[in-house]
Structure 1
Amino acid sequence: MSELREDVLAYPKARMMEQVDDYFGTKVADPYRWMEDVDSPELAEWVEAENRLTQEYLAQVPSRKAMHGRLMELMDFERYTVPSGYRLQDGGTRYFYQHNSGLQNQAVVYWQDGLEGERQVLLDPNGMSEDGTVALNGFSVTDDGRLAAYALSEAGSDWLVWRVREVETGKDLVDRIEWSKFSGASWLKDGSGFFYARYDAPGAESFKEANYFHKIYLHKLGTEQSEDALVFERPDNGELNLGAVVTDDGRYLLIHQSEGTSPNNELAVKDLSDPEAPVLRLIAEADAAYSPIENDGTFFWVQTTLDAPNGKVIGIDLTKPEREHWVTLVPESRNAIDQVSMVNDTLIVLYLEDAQSMVELHRRDGTAIGRFSLPGIGTAGGFGGRRTDGETFFGFTNFTAPGVVYRLDMRTMETTVFRQPELRFAPDAFETKQVFVASKDGTRVPVFLSYKKGLVLDGSAPTLLYGYGGFGVSLLPSFSSARVLWMELGGVYAQACLRGGGEYGESWHEAGMKLQKQNVFDDFLACAEWLIDAKYTSATKLAIQGGSNGGLLVGACITQRPELFGAALAEVGVLDMLRFDKFTIGWAWKAEYGSPSEDAAEFAAMYEYSPLHRLRAGVAYPATMVMTADHDDRVFPAHSFKFTAAMQAVAPPQPALIRVETRAGHGAGMPLSKRVEGVVDQYAFLVRALEMAV
């Protein structure tokens, strides 16, 4: 194939239409509105042509095949989730966990009786579709470990179908639940049924239709879904997301209610021991986050941010539910609480200390016991179980250590390895460090750097800067075979912990929300400048990457400071900030971004940074590859379509490409084969754009 010159790329023609909207007196053109009809033949033809162009461009990278082979090697290691244990009637314990042998598209659910028992397959999604796109997206076991409710999604959709399987026989019962989304399943104590959340059945356009009025239902085994009892709804507010959990003692149903993606919530309680008991609106004002941890009769331990943006643990007694009777058990500290669990009557408090995990143990009355030593610097997770359990499990990982699963005996505090993978690379060949960067307003922003040992700081290293900065999501050290490949190619991986995330608690999150969103972009730009000033890289060797809200981050930064980057990867991004709330669950993000159609000040702020609306002719934008999926019903793919068409229309000298994955969604449940292909295409793009010698 002859060399495809970047300055003569022939982009597919995208029709422009006359569409102008009025936002508080500001006229805004939307010439690619037609791309919101994602099922149109015209759009399908455009997508096919764009994919063809992108693959022609990437095919000219000679190392592409070798990268694919090496990534497959790096990913060929066993992966385990942290197990959950359920007590059997004979006094034993039945454990459930997921395992991927290495190169399976989807993880397999196993169960075993006892720590040394023979593991048995309960659920293997790999045989449920030819392309591996059927994925497990929900799992809940009865208290006696006899039955499992499981939810499957197809082609990356958020829509779930719930089924029930007998553990010992592997047979499915007749039960089938549809039109569930953003829901778990929580069993009654006797295993006779479970609670779940769903929407009303949508119309013909279920893929793009906005979802309102989440509801809680009780499904009794052996009955049709049409007979399910409506347990709780909020007809006064269609933008509430609901969740229901049965307490471990089986007595109470806890109903969580939050508006959109707001971290704050209301909390209702229903006494399941009394069929006539009304629903008690325990917390009727969503003035903070309230997350029940455990209960002992009417006494509840609750994690909250009430008057404590870094979090604290309080006690609430249902016999005296008024706020003046609430007691603080674990007060707020300088470190943000990530999660709290209770095992063996011990509160296990997982903190974030400068974006790394730190664990403290407290007695049930809140009295501090001390720190629990983790295996090193990195990220811990798990620590689940019941208040009366004598053991718990946790996982630990960092940038060069895949997840190891440990068992912790809560009576002796002895830690043993439950599962540990064998690796196909040498972790000692790399090093990781943490630095702190001053943002535009002086805010201290943590950045993790990982690379091969012996790096020379002469500004020549290709560097991939990754960020997210939103929805209270914390970016902590974690393992990725793809990042190892990047470092083996000579690249530096940089992970920035931006405002808008949860690394330093709710105040850190709020500093990057709504009218403060520009802080997130300023933080990321400051990190880019630091990497250049510190001679890790140069502007022509610096690439940025982010997905979803992170795709917005990438789009905003390349349109605000295009000269700062050599390449950009924007994955499933929110790129049209004026219409994000029109599709599927996008309305829920108004709690994070603001409302472009209802609030003039919030519109003005979003219009100022909206990537689609900042593109200008004559600007030398960095080489950019947009990535999306045709079945993404989380971030509607029209965001990526419109942004790409608009970027190509201003004729940048660097390539502006789009890669559209088929039969895939927002990323969850994507089969390994598609993930590998996507990563290799990203790196092939960066190899060419950054002129890497590989």
Structure 2
Amino acid sequence: MRLASFAATLLLAAGAAAAAQLPPVNPTTKPPRELALIGEPQPLPPPTSQQAASGTFHGVSVADPYRWLENPDDPAVRRWIAAQNAYTEATLAAMPQGKALTVRVQQLAITSTMRSGPTLAGGTLFYLQQTPPQPQPVLIAQAWPDGTAKVLADPNADHGGAGTAITAYWPSPRGRYLAYGSAEGGSELTTIRVLEVASGKTLPDTLPWAGGGTTPQGLAWDADERGFSYVRFTPPAAGQEVEQFHATLVYHTLGRAAATDRVVFGKGYSKTAEYVLVNAPATAQAAVLAYDGDGGPAEVFLQHGDRFIRVLDRSANVRTAAWVNGRLYLAAFRDAPRGKVVAIGDDGKAAPVLAEREGAIQQIAPLGDGFLVVRSRGPDWWVEQYDAGAIFVRRLPLPEHGIGIGEIASESGSNKALVSYGGWSTPTRWAEYDGRSGALKTVFEVKPAADYSKVVARRIEGTSKDGTKIPVTVLSLRGTTANGKRPTILYSYGGFDIPIKPGFIGPNLAWLERGGVLAYANIRGGNENGQRWHAQGQQLDKQNVFDDFHAAALALIHARWTDRAHLGILGGSNGGLLMGAQIVQHPADYRAVVARVGIYDMLRHETHFANGPYNIPEYGSIADPAQFKATLAYSPLQHVETNTAYPAVLLTTGENDPRVAPWQSRKFAAALQNASSSTRPILLLTRMNAGHGIGAPFSQRVGDTAIGLTFFAHELGLDGKP
């Protein structure tokens, strides 16, 4: 599970130890507040008591006075959540720009029909399609390239509406059947169903507990289309919750009950097993990339019937794979930080195919008798074609800057591929690429609701604490000048191998129309410059991520785009941890912060929430004394200090989040509210029928954008009119 999206001073041991001491419990007075700028007192948030609690790690006692907020079944916690929601809603409603911004965001969100996830099997193209304001995408099948599109599954009608989302889908080798997963209420816990493509008939096969949340879904069909292997948690006893650990691969025969499915791989493999099944739909060849948690490399297994043979261990540092003309091609990063391509031969051994080149490998896809490679360098993405002998043919004629590459739908033996891409001012496009002629033809594009041609992208650079250069992309409308005080929102992520790549800004155009600026930083922890870039933001080196983001913020100020009074920052999930670290490490350098579904108590995340153990490859384990020391030095909750003027903060979370515990946001919000000496609001919004944001309905995604922009507009002083 990837947590599906910001120079700081490294905290020294003495500082960490001081922060770990148990503070007074139940203080009788709150820290003093500044007078509001309008001369009236700022409404105070609902009170939160502190209770005596602590944990001891390697002889260090760490205070935890808000631990009581971890129990969602406690009536006091339920009342607290309701009071916080009421306070947040009332505060946001009083922000005068909210109505106009919401209207504009809604207008900009109503684009033409959108498509995603193209997959080819047996001459049929499968994809998801959504026509705003339709709550959820529907599953489509279309004979490629000129057939009529047909709806196969519509979660808006078939499974109860906006609370149900399609999580993944897998066509059988000849396209006769389609298996797909769905999940409810943002939980991501997947149930697989199967339908017959020609008739659209749903078969009786219903397979619950099929991954999702802590571990990804996966499925690989047999060549005869009579059954498949898929990822599954152990079915729970009646009336019990499923335990989201120890996932295995089980085999299902079409027409049989799920209870008869048998384990074929992974029994006893790992408590935090994650499996990526690499299928070649035309031949039903299958490989398994097996991970022990998230953020690390994979072991590679080839499937031969019920047998799974290991061909590479984790020392090869494999990150992605594809089937090319019957051979498994892998991107391996051992001794090649940007990646090299190797292939598994008939003898089960790896042979070199393509040496390391400029640009980090992001994706491999078959094409004709050769293959395509997607590469990135910082914010720049491109696609290269190679023939059967791995000789370079050409770089695809896509824009050189400002786009990110999405999915590629292709099959070995076919010289045509469907390439999905988009950019800051370019909504999703699908282009048919002819590998023989090199021609690229747009066959589908989303029509935006406004003119984005005036969006200008510029590059600046920050210098992190250790001298590393950090690329920052700055977006504004043509004519918007760097006057030193532009309301600016800076975004990044910084972890789990996930890059920041150009993507359509969509409704965020409303911000630029009013003279605002958007900025995106390529910080370490992602993989846009390869695995060394990723590794330098992991585990003991996590502080690099926070330093990089702060360097990007300072670069915006030094370039006179903005100043500290007009700078806001945004991040979610692992990017929420990034926001938390910025709040406590540099409270005076940001005017406003929006942090979504973030982790703030790193000491409890690993051991007191299901997904925490899965994140150990990325964050390290606090069971190790050195890692505990490094983690305590940056864990945001433990560094909230009383009588500190914190920036305005909006935290959001979802009650059904399987990836980050909702109590993370509750505890951090309470600590900031009790500690801050400024009049700036500290807000917490809990969505009661939502999760991490994966599969969120259209209305929730639009609402989140409008709320975030409203908060930033009020706090950063954005002009009220476009």
Shorter chain as normaliser: what TM range? over 0.9
SS in 1 for 2:199: coil
The answer to whether the 8 A contact 2:427-2:446 is kept is: yes
Q: How does 1:667-686 map to 2 (within 5 A)?
A: 667-686=693-712
Specify the alignment match of 1:90 in structure 2.
none
Q: In the TM superposition, what is the alpha-carbon distance from 1:650 to its structure 2 partner?
A: 1.1
Specify the alignment match of 1:585 in structure 2.
611
Specify the alignment match of 1:548 in structure 2.
573
In structure 2, do the counterparts of structure 1 residues 375 and 693 end up closer, same or farther at CA, with 3 Å as the change threshold? closer
The answer to whether the 8 A contact 2:592-2:712 is kept is: yes
Task: Find 1:237's aligned residue among 260, 270, 281.
Answer: 270
* TM-score, normalization by structure 1: 0.94
The percent of aligned pairs where both chains have the same amino acid is: 31
Partners of 1:6 and 1:638 lie apart in 2 by 32
2:510 equivalent to 1:505: no
Partners of 1:296 and 1:4 lie apart in 2 by 69
Partners of 1:249 and 1:128 lie apart in 2 by 29
In structure 2, do the counterparts of structure 1 residues 131 and 223 end up closer, same or farther at CA, with 3 Å as the change threshold? closer
Specify the alignment match of 2:20 in structure 1.
none
The answer to whether the 8 A contact 1:210-1:585 is kept is: no
Task: Find 2:75's aligned residue among 41, 46, 64.
Answer: 41
Q: In the TM superposition, what is the alpha-carbon distance from 1:262 to its structure 2 partner?
A: 2.9
Gaps of 5+ in 1: 88-92
Partners of 1:22 and 1:126 lie apart in 2 by 49
In structure 2, do the counterparts of structure 1 residues 216 and 158 end up closer, same or farther at CA, with 3 Å as the change threshold? same
Specify the alignment match of 1:24 in structure 2.
58
Specify the alignment match of 1:83 in structure 2.
118
Could you report, residue by residue, the CA deviation over 1:428-467 in whole angstroms, capped at 9, with x for unpaired residues? 2221112222112210111111011112222121000001
Specify the alignment match of 2:13 in structure 1.
none
Q: In the TM superposition, what is the alpha-carbon distance from 1:25 to its structure 2 partner?
A: 0.7
The answer to whether the 8 A contact 2:324-2:370 is kept is: no
Partners of 1:205 and 1:264 lie apart in 2 by 36
In structure 2, do the counterparts of structure 1 residues 290 and 647 end up closer, same or farther at CA, with 3 Å as the change threshold? closer
Q: How does 1:287-686 map to 2 (within 5 A)?
A: 287-289=316-318, 291-297=320-326, 299-319=327-347, 321-322=348-349, 326-377=350-401, 378-581=403-606, 582-596=608-622, 598-653=623-678, 654-686=680-712
Partners of 1:251 and 1:398 lie apart in 2 by 34
Specify the alignment match of 2:261 in structure 1.
228
2:186 equivalent to 1:156: yes
2:306 equivalent to 1:282: no
Q: How does 1:61-140 map to 2 (within 5 A)?
A: 61-77=95-111, 78-81=113-116, 83-87=118-122, 93-128=123-158, 132-140=162-170
Partners of 2:334 and 2:150 lie apart in 1 by 44
Q: In the TM superposition, what is the alpha-carbon distance from 1:116 to its structure 2 partner?
A: 2.5
Q: In the TM superposition, what is the alpha-carbon distance from 1:683 to its structure 2 partner?
A: 1.5
Q: In the TM superposition, what is the alpha-carbon distance from 1:206 to its structure 2 partner?
A: 7.3
The one-letter code of the counterpart of 2:714 is R
The one-letter code of the counterpart of 2:359 is N
The answer to whether the 8 A contact 1:195-1:245 is kept is: no
Partners of 2:571 and 2:707 lie apart in 1 by 15
In structure 2, do the counterparts of structure 1 residues 201 and 36 end up closer, same or farther at CA, with 3 Å as the change threshold? farther
Q: In the TM superposition, what is the alpha-carbon distance from 1:468 to its structure 2 partner?
A: 0.6
Partners of 1:599 and 1:187 lie apart in 2 by 41
* TM-score, normalization by structure 2: 0.90
In structure 2, do the counterparts of structure 1 residues 444 and 16 end up closer, same or farther at CA, with 3 Å as the change threshold? same
In structure 2, do the counterparts of structure 1 residues 536 and 655 end up closer, same or farther at CA, with 3 Å as the change threshold? same
Q: In the TM superposition, what is the alpha-carbon distance from 1:163 to its structure 2 partner?
A: 0.5
In structure 2, do the counterparts of structure 1 residues 201 and 16 end up closer, same or farther at CA, with 3 Å as the change threshold? farther
Q: How many residues align?
A: 677
The one-letter code of the counterpart of 1:268 is F
Q: In the TM superposition, what is the alpha-carbon distance from 1:112 to its structure 2 partner?
A: 2.1
The answer to whether the 8 A contact 2:124-2:175 is kept is: yes
Partners of 1:662 and 1:249 lie apart in 2 by 43
2:285 equivalent to 1:256: no
Partners of 2:239 and 2:660 lie apart in 1 by 16
Specify the alignment match of 2:23 in structure 1.
none
In structure 2, do the counterparts of structure 1 residues 531 and 95 end up closer, same or farther at CA, with 3 Å as the change threshold? same
SS in 2 for 1:159: coil
The answer to whether the 8 A contact 1:302-1:315 is kept is: yes
Partners of 2:40 and 2:57 lie apart in 1 by 37
The answer to whether the 8 A contact 1:407-1:418 is kept is: yes
Partners of 2:74 and 2:455 lie apart in 1 by 48
The answer to whether the 8 A contact 1:343-1:384 is kept is: no
Could you report, residue by residue, the CA deviation over 1:530-581 in whole angstroms, capped at 9, with x for unpaired residues? 1112110110100000000000001001100111000001110011110111
Q: In the TM superposition, what is the alpha-carbon distance from 1:173 to its structure 2 partner?
A: 0.8
The answer to whether the 8 A contact 1:500-1:511 is kept is: yes
The one-letter code of the counterpart of 1:609 is Y
**Higher RCO (C-alpha under 8 Å, 6+ residues apart):** 2
In structure 2, do the counterparts of structure 1 residues 511 and 210 end up closer, same or farther at CA, with 3 Å as the change threshold? farther
Q: In the TM superposition, what is the alpha-carbon distance from 1:256 to its structure 2 partner?
A: 1.9
In structure 2, do the counterparts of structure 1 residues 282 and 249 end up closer, same or farther at CA, with 3 Å as the change threshold? farther
Partners of 2:169 and 2:280 lie apart in 1 by 17
In structure 2, do the counterparts of structure 1 residues 336 and 612 end up closer, same or farther at CA, with 3 Å as the change threshold? same
Q: In the TM superposition, what is the alpha-carbon distance from 1:3 to its structure 2 partner?
A: 12
Specify the alignment match of 2:18 in structure 1.
none
Over the residues paired in the alignment, what is the CA RMSD in angstroms? 2.1
The answer to whether the 8 A contact 1:451-1:491 is kept is: yes
Task: Find 1:54's aligned residue among 65, 88, 93.
Answer: 88
Partners of 1:564 and 1:111 lie apart in 2 by 51
In structure 2, do the counterparts of structure 1 residues 440 and 162 end up closer, same or farther at CA, with 3 Å as the change threshold? same
The answer to whether the 8 A contact 2:461-2:470 is kept is: yes
Q: In the TM superposition, what is the alpha-carbon distance from 1:672 to its structure 2 partner?
A: 0.9
Q: In the TM superposition, what is the alpha-carbon distance from 1:333 to its structure 2 partner?
A: 1.8
The one-letter code of the counterpart of 2:245 is Y
In structure 2, do the counterparts of structure 1 residues 652 and 201 end up closer, same or farther at CA, with 3 Å as the change threshold? farther
In structure 2, do the counterparts of structure 1 residues 72 and 280 end up closer, same or farther at CA, with 3 Å as the change threshold? same
In structure 2, do the counterparts of structure 1 residues 344 and 60 end up closer, same or farther at CA, with 3 Å as the change threshold? same
